Structure 1
């Protein structure tokens, strides 16, 4: 606050006393009042005026300081009491009115803060990502769902640096620059798992405190679109894969009902084949259902952790008898030193069961399947944002190997390098597709390397659980 002028009180007293001084001077000149009496009267007048001016200036200063205090303490929960007013020139109700106005202002500010906090709580609880854009198309604010999807430090970035879809950017331009009404856009976000979003771009009625001019809401419709594709794929692929065993079963049933009716020898020969074809259909349906469940959840990263060492031990133990039947062995190494990974134990069990089972199917009798687990210091970065250190598990067989041109398509549904051999071994053509989708859901990587005549290596990289250390480091 500015300092009071040092001559303000004397100047005010002089101005206020001037009319009385002029009257006394006229009376003295006219001989109506002795000079001594006039001087005494003037002294009384000046003293009274000085007292009144000092009271008034002090009161005005107190009011000014009170207003300044209210201005400086805008966040005070309690409005301070107003000062006492002694000046007869100021209405005491003035300060009370100022205090009442300040209390009303604080009440309204508290209501606004509470409303803003409620709004922030609602936005934070929304499962859909939200991006608040300013008039230049820069991100002004986000909710936790958006930060989880796109990473932190989004504020101040341009929308194209986060989402580069041309249709979305055109919709934002139409809303921000052309003043059009809300726009709807559906587009795909490519990454370790492709996701589909139905997006709404809506202008705000007025700019927000942070400069927000429009809101972009993204609704994940990946599961819906995937379910639509899965229904179509299921009909096409299942009908194709079921047709052969079903035709065989129908043929055998017709034979046993017709020419071979009552023929015990034919029945003994046909029934094992019919059982095999029925089991093949059962395995196919089970794998299809398993793949459908996995694909529906693929966009949702597992929130639990899994102990990979004991899990691998259980899988190897469960397949030991199958290995013995082929005169093969399974050698597990490095499992004791593994840190926990972020993942679903049941699905990871399925991954390694499929990989080791395939190695036993295609490995040469008398050889071993090596299951090697490690935590490489220079391993691949995996995880939701590709920044998490990985745990690597390799399944290595000594078999015929896979021709190089087939490797990129191995994880496609129903793709087989040797269709006849695969069906002969009971394969459904879905095992590696299941592995790929589970690994994708875990935001990991699957690498395949093979050399014809020497065998194949399937390596799964999975993200370590947050804060996990290796078994040796933690010991």
Structure 2
């Protein structure tokens, strides 16, 4: 009982009790004066007026003014200005209320800051993903997207949020799958081709958000867009590569098989005819051997199974040796083979045999595709962006613009029938050239105009010591 009484005493606001007691006391004095002598009422009123004014002033200072301040500050807090703080210097219940409101605002600031940080971290994670991510509510409206989707749709996240995804991404199959995912709340995955920003193939996965509350609606969906265009291109290139190799092997093997059957049927008795057939079989066998050698060489270079030597290579000497190799072939075809190399070029670091193979392939192609009376020019010097360059130009038949991006692909030839007529190889030479140049941390470029000619330019870096002396 005593503990209950002490607790009750501690909870009572004695300032309020004292103020009300003082008010009742004045009222009691006025009533007593009126009871004793009604004529003294004006005097009692005059007597009580100063006390009433003082009490009103105390009430205003203690209650009304702090409440007005609390009301003004809380209105600003409701508008989002949570950095405001109520400053009351008294030590009463209103000051305790102001302190609680300040604590509540501080806690609210911390909570909002934590939520903002969490949202920023989540957005940073989404933006760091290589896949496109779209979150939609059950109504199909966009809640959030990541940076990849912004690039795909060419729109900012602020402009996309709240829009109907069906209206933004107008695609029949995509909209059909989205509708099924929203209704069934089951994961769906399928490959579709989108035309934004270009013709790309995406693996689209719709994952339901069960038990989530998104935009006031339950049961949203997360859409993940994974670009699989390059994988399809690689698979297509692999299929084309296998088909091309099979075709290139089938042709000489068919020829060899036919001539062998002819010899076995009795043509071997005719020495002149048999010798002719055997020469053809030998040529076709060498063709197969060259094809397989080039395939193994390209595979070894492409997968870094060979390590280039790091010797000092002077491109001027290298070009002159290659020119001497092809000079008889050029003279036989009546093609001028010109060496316009800058003679004071610094040495590059690389594998002399590999770089020789690069020049041999480029010069060989230039001579083959240049008609009689044409010119093949080898030029070299310092590149504007640093390093050195070697270019092989011809006045040949040129390369169509649509074939330029593919000339370095394996087994790709612009015109197979025309290539056969010029005695070219299997479309592996330029692929080998490209990989050798990249193995030396360089690059190769091609410029061509049909009917005018082509120019292949190899750029190679210089050693750091040589660069500092330039």
Question: Which category of TM-score, normalised to the shorter sequence, fits these structures?
Answer: 0.5 to 0.7
Determine whether 1:237 maps to 2:235.
Answer: no
Equivalent residues of 1:369, 1:395 under 8 A apart: yes
Task: Tell me: higher relative CO, structure 1 or 2? Use CA pairs within 8 A at least 6 residues apart.
Answer: 1
Total equivalences in the alignment = 375
How big is each residue's C-alpha offset from its partner over 1:233-254, in whole Å with a ceiling of 9 and x where there is no partner? Answer: 3433322211344567789999
Distance 1:215 1:69, change over 3 A: same
Alignment of 1:48-447 (within 5 A): 48-68=55-75, 70=77, 74=81, 76=83, 80=85, 82-85=87-90, 90-131=93-134, 142-146=145-149, 156=159, 165-172=171-178, 183-188=188-193, 195-201=200-206, 205-207=212-214, 215-246=222-253, 273=283, 276-283=286-293, 285-286=295-296, 289=299, 320-327=323-330, 328-330=336-338, 357-364=364-371, 367-369=374-376, 397-399=394-396, 401=397, 413=412, 415-418=415-418, 420-422=420-422, 425-429=423-427
Distance 1:20 1:240, change over 3 A: same
Alignment of 1:3-22 (within 5 A): none
Give the deviation of 1:92 after TM superposition: 4.1
Give the deviation of 1:368 after TM superposition: 1.0
Equivalent residues of 1:332, 1:370 under 8 A apart: yes
- Greater helix proportion: 2
Q: Which residue of 2 aligns with 1:5?
A: none
5+ long unaligned stretches in structure 2: 1-20, 269-274, 304-314, 331-335, 343-355, 381-389, 436-443, 458-470
SS at 1:418's partner residue?
A: helix
Counterparts of 1:417 and 1:403, CA distance in 2: 15
Give the deviation of 1:429 after TM superposition: 4.0
Equivalent residues of 1:326, 1:366 under 8 A apart: no
How big is each residue's C-alpha offset from its partner over 1:171-196, in whole Å with a ceiling of 9 and x where there is no partner? Answer: 456668x7966653423457999643
Deviates more, 1:57-66 or 1:317-326: 317-326
Equivalent residues of 1:140, 1:156 under 8 A apart: no
Larger Rg: 2
How big is each residue's C-alpha offset from its partner over 1:40-59, in whole Å with a ceiling of 9 and x where there is no partner? Answer: 24533442343233322232
Equivalent residues of 1:185, 1:200 under 8 A apart: yes
Counterparts of 1:50 and 1:21, CA distance in 2: 16
Give the deviation of 1:122 after TM superposition: 0.8
Give the deviation of 1:219 after TM superposition: 1.0
Counterparts of 1:162 and 1:372, CA distance in 2: 53
RMSD: 6.2
Task: Give the TM-score of the pair, scaled to structure 1.
Answer: 0.55
Q: Which residue of 2 aligns with 1:43?
A: 50
Counterparts of 1:214 and 1:285, CA distance in 2: 48
Distance 1:290 1:459, change over 3 A: farther
Give the deviation of 1:105 after TM superposition: 1.2
Match of 1:457 among 438, 453, 456: 453
Counterparts of 2:253 and 2:166, CA distance in 1: 53
Equivalent residues of 1:187, 1:196 under 8 A apart: yes
Give the deviation of 1:170 after TM superposition: 4.1
5+ long unaligned stretches in structure 1: 1-15, 261-265, 294-311, 335-348, 374-392, 438-443, 462-475
Counterparts of 1:418 and 1:447, CA distance in 2: 20
Counterparts of 1:29 and 1:242, CA distance in 2: 131
Equivalent residues of 1:407, 1:448 under 8 A apart: no
Give the deviation of 1:119 after TM superposition: 0.6
How big is each residue's C-alpha offset from its partner over 1:147-186, in whole Å with a ceiling of 9 and x where there is no partner? Answer: 566667575378799966542344456668x796665342
Task: Give the TM-score of the pair, scaled to structure 2.
Answer: 0.55
How big is each residue's C-alpha offset from its partner over 1:2-53, in whole Å with a ceiling of 9 and x where there is no partner? Answer: xxxxxxxxxxxxxx99988876665444335744456324533442343233
Counterparts of 1:350 and 1:151, CA distance in 2: 45
